[in-house]
Structure 1
Amino acid sequence: MAEKEWHTMFLKRNPELSIRKPEPTSLGRVTSFNAQNVEVFFEKLADVMDRYGFTAAEIWNVDETGVSTVLKPNKIVAAKGKRKVGAITSGERGTKVTVVTAVSALGNAVPPMFVFPRKQLKKHFFNGGPPECIGAGNANGWVTDEEFYQFKQHLMKYVKPSIERPILLVLDNHSSHLNVKTLTLAKENGVVML
């Protein structure tokens, strides 16, 4: 590791650099986000939009994020003015509570779902949480097929899609989104998944 004096002088010689805290980014996310995958996604989005003509109120994005109770990346040297700085981290380290929510293109949101790393879900886990939030618990706190199915039912309770009035649900390719039970629920209730 460089000494403090050398580091200070290095930053003075390179005023375009500063100390930044990187965002943790999994290796899987880094390798999956590429030009070919992005192009395929936008082609499919155009096809779905042409077929259904969804309005902004009918377009919803669902995502999960794990909030770690342990892992915090160290600060690093990066270019000044750069908005985001990433650092690859291990997804297996630390305890995580997963938050799942959906937001429409209009900015409306469904109350979130929390997935706790506990086999027994307790009511006090929700103390101080957002109104109408729901939760689940499993051994690792990650979203599995069952938790995503539960969230899909929660989403439909608030958004009220139907075959006559479908919605577009934009999500990533997490394995829990591809469960037959979940896909059947979507199809029967007018939820087009992309």
Structure 2
Amino acid sequence: MTVHVSPDELLSLVFDAAELSAAAASHLASCAQCRQQEAELRLLATDLTIARLSEPSPESLTRYQALFDQVQQQPAPLQRFVNRLRAVLTWDSRQQPLLQGVRSGGAIAYRQLFTADEVELELMVEPIGSLRRVEGDLIVDTEAGIGAPALVELLDRHGAPVYSVETDADGIFRFEGVHPGRYQAVITRAYAAPVEVETLEIV
């Protein structure tokens, strides 16, 4: 009777870097079923690592929550912070015959430009295996620039945040490991109205 590597041993191997016994290691090397389970656990570990790295710091979330509470308590003088600026797609490299991007495994790297009042959002979407890397640049047409790091969120069709990351002081940000699909993008800025892309297709 074949004795496979136990789930607990595989979990310890992947998440705790624990060493297997000689017998378990020998079995793992020759058992396709156990190697498949190990591979699936390692993919899960990678996804969890990406999710942790993409999360804003607790301090950032506290700052944005405080700003939101301030807006809720003082709607009249801060109404401009509540009304979102809706950014619309004004340029897509896939629609330019000479700038359609580099095809990689059936997917294409492409650029998009979204514009709103005094704001531009430039995105670069690059295929990384079956997932996507999304790099962005929030450009503000004021001398002060964005003023402070902004919170960028990709929401699902129910309005729930799926991915979130904070820009740097220049408005640059990056998402790793984004699944292709349709999202709503919302950028919460500390000293100005939020920016919204109502429909963002990641392909």
Query: TM class, shorter-chain normalised?
Result: under 0.3
What is the TM-score of this pair, normalised by structure 2?
Answer: 0.27
Which is richer in strand? 2
Q: Larger radius of gyration, structure 1 or 2? A: 2
Larger RCO: 1 or 2 (CA < 8 Å, sep 6+): 1
Which is richer in helix? 1
